[in-house]
Structure 1
């Protein structure tokens, strides 16, 4: 294992200081380094210096099979996945509560499990030819260490996409929850444009954050603190916190999120929102959520003035304040269901949402 010398760390800081986002945001790097084990710290430093890819992130290509019991062998390293002339869909999962910065580097089996935990239903719909998606598209899936900052994850995602795809490809990203924020960083003007990415479909992404990642909200709601405290003890989780800055945003006492504010402001200035379609889950009644977790989250948000949500993300946040190219509400789908993840694979809510996403992708040149 390489030993990073002190001067390398200084070089890293100098490199970071030249990055175009406002400098004050980058206090997060210090926090990440302090929370990493020695092995992970060196790996992350090498990744941020551009010497090595981040070992906790990977893009897989999916090989359709015949069994709903998806095999890990169906997930092939994207570098080895055979390229075709088909258009490409890339699934990007959301926040994973099972990992922390201090955990060992994620092996491929764990990476694939992280993807399945979010998207197994959607992958099966693709495999079984729902809307002929497997005929017209190749499917790729991206995973990352969600406890790390969305800024570092987004930059790594940008690098990964650049390494795999060319400007002659047509790539459509389908991102759930935090994955939508990572994608926004990856496609931001400051990170570097990716012309082959034609469209991004966000599924319940907290574009203006979630109250459940905000300390003031958690402290004011003791039961909510039990639900959300696991978020705010990691850098990635903290960057999901609610912000009062944003079009049509309801005000939450003491809420702020400089990372999202700067990111969203950049998109407004450079017109980047025209590549995004925002899907938002709307629970008509909190008991329409499939699990007690989201039923409870919905009730807490409703009692706090957020009458429309998916149990985690308020409606206006998921819709980016109506500033994306198109906004689509999905009735009675909780936060997990917005990733096609219903309790039953053949649930019409899962099948219909998948079809709606594919339809939107097909309608875009």
Structure 2
């Protein structure tokens, strides 16, 4: 049992109640709006699972830089028809969306693009405005997927997409936020086949050893967190974000286990592929650095449970892969969303500096 200051927990609880009601309303509306397409959706998903067609919920877009910070959907071009240049390639892949469910309708392009914008709009603006000369040196791609699906399924599909879109002579660098880092690790796992064109992966706050907030034993320590957790992580993808006690430097959490991450990390350990990863970790030193109250509250909850450094969701050792990656970088005073460049003000120095640091790591990669 961990202790939480009453004021902090109250703020966290009220926010989560509001978030739960809001997400539920959106989810119910979305289902009603598209219920007539349910049969077609299931048929498409079945064909995808049989390998007869790509999963309709995942897609790779090429990004066309514009001039307005109000990013237009027309700037997102299906990768099949995106003009390929001789530049190096950067692929952004987003993290988990707790509102998604496997039974949701197939996402159209508008929804796919919105999923990308929700995570990386600031990063795309930095790119198109030429920060750190990124636009002149790289083409930018963006990948989206149904986060409620297993990371194993999503990872294999990401592998197939990368294999079909890039050639061995390309130089591709993946920038992955949160769950996107786990999907990428599955995509590059030896079992799925080597992708020689992927030179480096930059993970941003990825729970590579999981997060306590996706862990039943941790959620069960508080009745409200347990009830809410059943909604937030009540999918295969969500459950695979749970904490594991296995891993270099991992603090022990009673009852925690994650066989999917354990098997994945063991595969990497024996293959040497961790050397292709740079891991970034957010560190909220005072648990009051986040831009939203729930990350500050989450940081306090984790701190009181013995996880003294985190971004409000992912403990530092998990984000840094236990110091097993090629390089580990701490980012001060950034919450979990800010670790994807998502500050409320796009001109915030934390967003700009993180973007420039990521591009610098890619540019100076030994691969």
Q: TM-score, normalised by structure 2?
A: 0.88
Partners of 1:171 and 1:227 in 2: CA distance:
39
Structure-2 residue corresponding to 1:200? 201
Partners of 1:225 and 1:64 in 2: CA distance:
43
Q: CA deviation at 1:102?
A: 1.0
Structure-1 residue corresponding to 2:187? 186
Q: CA deviation at 1:313?
A: 0.2
Structure-1 residue corresponding to 2:263? 262
Is 1:54 aligned with 2:47? no
Is 1:172 aligned with 2:173? yes
Partners of 1:293 and 1:328 in 2: CA distance:
24
Write out aligned runs for 1:151-166 (5 A). Answer: 151-166=152-167
Partners of 2:131 and 2:255 in 1: CA distance:
45
Structure-2 residue corresponding to 1:303? 304
Write out aligned runs for 1:1-365 (5 A). Answer: 38-225=39-226, 228-364=229-365, 365=367
Q: CA deviation at 1:293?
A: 1.1
1:184-225 deviation per Cα after TM superposition (whole angstroms, max 9, x unaligned): 000000111110000000000000000000011001033544
Partners of 1:74 and 1:228 in 2: CA distance:
36
SS state at 2:308 partner: coil
SS state at 2:85 partner: coil
Partners of 1:70 and 1:134 in 2: CA distance:
16
Contact 2:89–2:139 (8 Å) recurs in 1: yes
SS state at 2:331 partner: strand
Partners of 1:50 and 1:73 in 2: CA distance:
29
SS state at 1:193 partner: coil
Unaligned 5+ runs, structure 2: 1-37
Q: CA deviation at 1:89?
A: 0.2
SS state at 1:286 partner: coil
Structure-2 residue corresponding to 1:21? none
1:57-116 deviation per Cα after TM superposition (whole angstroms, max 9, x unaligned): 000000000000000000000000001000000000000123211110000000000000
Partners of 1:206 and 1:218 in 2: CA distance:
17
Moved segments of 4+, more than 6 Å: none
Structure 1 vs Structure 2 CA RMSD: 1.3
Contact 1:239–1:259 (8 Å) recurs in 2: yes
Partners of 1:45 and 1:205 in 2: CA distance:
30
Unaligned 5+ runs, structure 1: 1-36
Partners of 2:277 and 2:80 in 1: CA distance:
27
1:282-315 deviation per Cα after TM superposition (whole angstroms, max 9, x unaligned): 0001111110110111111011100100000000
Partners of 1:47 and 1:162 in 2: CA distance:
17
Change (3 A) 1:183 1:240: same
Partners of 2:40 and 2:335 in 1: CA distance:
38
Contact 1:90–1:140 (8 Å) recurs in 2: yes
Q: TM-score, normalised by structure 1?
A: 0.88
Partners of 1:230 and 1:209 in 2: CA distance:
18
Change (3 A) 1:223 1:347: farther
Contact 1:215–1:232 (8 Å) recurs in 2: no
